Amino acid sequence: ARQICATHEDMDKALRVEHSEAVILRGINWDGSLIRVWRDAESSNFSITQTYVNGTSCMIINGKNLDTIIWFLEPKQEEPEL
């Protein structure tokens, strides 16, 4: 499969306007690139993009039926002092 890359602005426009997706998660990768998860609220289609420091954005993967799962760790209980 061929990876799709474009300028940051063009990738944003394509996902927002043409695919009706919005960013739901984002974070910085170890190499300084921006990772974003996009989702269409109605169809649950999704995309994951990586934007490099030079301004190029690449589609990492896209798919359908993205589900939201809420997950967290229980807070640690502190040991009582004696």
In this predicted model, what pLDDT tens digit does every residue of 41-79 receive, in sequence order? 889 999 999 999 999 999 999 999 988 777 766 766 666
Radius of gyration of the chain (CA): 17
Structure confidence at residue 58 (pLDDT): 97
Residue 11: DSSP 8-state? H
Helix (H) or strand (E) holding 8: helix 8-13
pLDDT band at 2 (very low <50, low <70, confident <90, very high): confident
User: How far apart are alpha carbons 12 and 51 in whole angstroms?
Assistant: 10
For the whole model, what pTM was predicted? 0.80
For residues 30 and 13, the answer to whether their CB atoms sit within 8 Å is: no
pLDDT tens figures, 20-48:
999 999 999 999 999 999 999 889 999 99
